Amino acid sequence: MSHLSVVIQQIKERREILKITQESLADLSGVGLRTIKQLEAGKGNPTYKTLQEIADVLGLELVLQVKNAIVYEIRPSVL
Please state, in angstroms and rounded to a whole number, the distance separating the CA atoms of residues 58 and 18: 8
Using the 8-state DSSP alphabet, how is residue 50 labeled?
A: H
pTM to 2 decimal places: 0.79
Flag whether 77 is in a domain. Answer: no
Q: Please write the tens of the pLDDT for every residue from 28-74.
A: 999 999 999 999 999 989 999 999 999 999 999 988 777 776 666 66
With the C-alpha atoms ordered 16, 19, 24, 30, is the resulting torsion angle positive or negative? negative
What's the rounded Cα separation, in Å, for the pair 18 and 66? 31
In a domain, 39, yes or no: yes
Q: C-alpha angle with apex 39: 63 to 29, nearest 5 degrees?
A: 70
Q: How far apart are the first and last CA of the chain?
A: 51
**Domain assignment of residue 7, given as a range:** 3-58
23 assigned to some structural domain: yes
- Find, among 26, 29, 20, the residue nearest to 38 by Cα: 26
